[in-house]
Amino acid sequence: MRAESARSSASGLDWFVFFLADIQTGFGPFVAVYLTSQAWTQGDIGLILSAGGVVALAGQLPAGALVDMARSARLMAGIAVVGIGLSALAIALWPIFAIVLLARVLHAGASCVLGPAVAAISLGLVGHGGLGERLGRNARFASIGNGIAAAAMGLCGHFVTSQAVFFFTASLALPALLALSQIRTLDTARIAAGTHTPARPNGTATWRCLLRDRRLLVFSCGILLFQLANAATLPLMGGILTVGLGDKAAMVIAAAVVVPQLVVVAMSPWVGRQSEHWGRRPLLLLCFAALAIRCALFALVTNPYLVVAVQMLDGISAAVLAVMFPLVVADITRDTGRFSLALGIVGSAVGIGAALSTTLAGLMYDYWGAAVTFLSLSGIAILGLALVWLLMAETRPENE
């Protein structure tokens, strides 16, 4: 009976991650398309998107702490899904500035909760020993969900209206909640021996220990450098292709987005398994090396077919990072009860790196051109690789 419950819970988490990726896809570029169709100015659209970005960055730490303190990560995940569904409905029904701004803030805050909640549920289901493989499975279902949702929403927007995309997004909250309900609460609350879920938070002493942990600080700096090099790479290449290809650039960019997702689907379970055999550092080095090579190749490549081929390297980095991000944090925070808070700390590094990346790359491109910009981004990735190689200790426990 227990084995059947565990299988049901594992399957429920698979589908929850799948539908969650579907829902989040609706808040990507479709927001700008829909608001443009509603005669919004680009300035107002940019302000809305920026507001969501600020909340997403500021909310990482409190959201992680909230999940740590909550008695049920599953309940927190359900509340967040409902919030995102309401955000989509509000945008579809009332596309006026104040409502859309509130909806974007609600969506950003809920998204901050979902990341650590899903990671906590995953840890509760399989424990530290099986977390790498579980995270690889999560990454596979998320990538499949992203790809299918992008295609479905694109067709929906083309054949119906761009408004229909947000009704569709809101409707996906229902199967997501149904999948979440299949995850048994007992399977995600194994606190007994500390082998499945981390201990409950233990006051401010744990905070101080966490903030003094050299491994967490080095990992956070490495992730910041990764995002600093990565976030601007494809948007910058997209702008270059648009100048050269005109309307055809959209198809090339679509292919450049889909190809890495296919690589993630194929590779992420392997990454999860190998993380238990090789350890975390070799895979992180592979992640940074793939990014450095990709940025360097973009300095030399302008052929659209070669651009799509080079994007396979993005899939390698994405597959590794999707697994390593929560796995390394779980290693570092084992038995501290601050797993979700630490995810928030590293998530803040992600947000800072991504925010600085586009500004930095844009300025470099304006002054020095594409080749220098991409080579500079490659240099940042190499700096991150050196940081991991020289300063980051292996976090995999020796007895696993």
pTM of the model: 0.79
Q: What is the pLDDT of residue 186?
A: 54
Per DSSP, 303 falls in state: -
Q: How much helix, strand and coil, in percent to the nearest 5, is found in the chain?
A: 85, 0, 15
Q: In the prediction, which pLDDT does 317 show?
A: 95
Residue 353: pLDDT over 60 = yes
- The pLDDT, as a whole number, for residue 391 is 93
Q: Which of 276, 228, 225 is nearest to 389 (CA)?
A: 225
Q: Given a cut of 70, is residue 5 above it in pLDDT?
A: no
Q: What pLDDT was estimated at residue 250?
A: 59
Cα-based distances in Å from 172 to 22, 26, 164, 205, 216: 7, 10, 13, 41, 35
Confidence of residue 198 (pLDDT cuts 50, 70, 90): very low
Residue 241, pLDDT above cutoff 70: yes
Residue with the larger pLDDT of the pair 367 and 161: 367
Cα separation, 343 vs 63, in Å, equals: 9
Least confident of 120-129, 153-162, 284-293, 362-371: 153-162
Higher pLDDT, 71 or 350: 350
pLDDT of residue 195: 39
pLDDT of residue 249: 62
The confidence score (pLDDT) of residue 339 equals 82
8 A C-beta contact, residue 314 and residue 294:
yes
pLDDT of 345 over the 90 cut? no
* Torsion (CA) 269, 176, 258, 101 in degrees, nearest 10: -130
The long-range contacts involving 365-369, CB below 8 angstroms and separated by at least 24 positions, are 365/236
Residue found under tokens 């973009």: 298
Sign for the CA dihedral angle at 274, 278, 284, 288 comes to negative
What's the average model confidence in pLDDT over 324-344?
Answer: 85
Name all domains of the chain by residue range, CATH numbers in brackets: 1-187 (1.20.1250.20), 206-395 (1.20.1250.20)
Percent of the chain with pLDDT over 70: 88
pLDDT value at position 380? Answer: 97
3-state DSSP assignment of residue 94: coil
Instruction: Give residue 324's pLDDT.
Output: 92
- Tell me the mean pLDDT in the region 323-337: 86
Ranges 293-297, 356-360, 376-380: which has the least confidence: 356-360
For the chain, give the mean pLDDT: 83
Low-confidence winner among 25-39, 369-383, 384-398 (lowest mean pLDDT): 25-39
Residue 246 confidence (pLDDT): 61
Query: pLDDT band for position 316 (50/70/90)?
Result: very high
What secondary structure letter does DSSP report for 231? Answer: T
Among 221, 177, 180, 220, smallest CA distance to 329 is for 220
pLDDT of residue 207: 62
pLDDT tens readout for residues 98-124: 999 999 899 989 998 998 899 889 888
Asked if residue 197 has pLDDT above 70, the reply is no
260-293 pLDDT, tens digit each: 888 998 999 899 889 888 989 999 999 999 999 9
Mean pLDDT within 156-184: 86
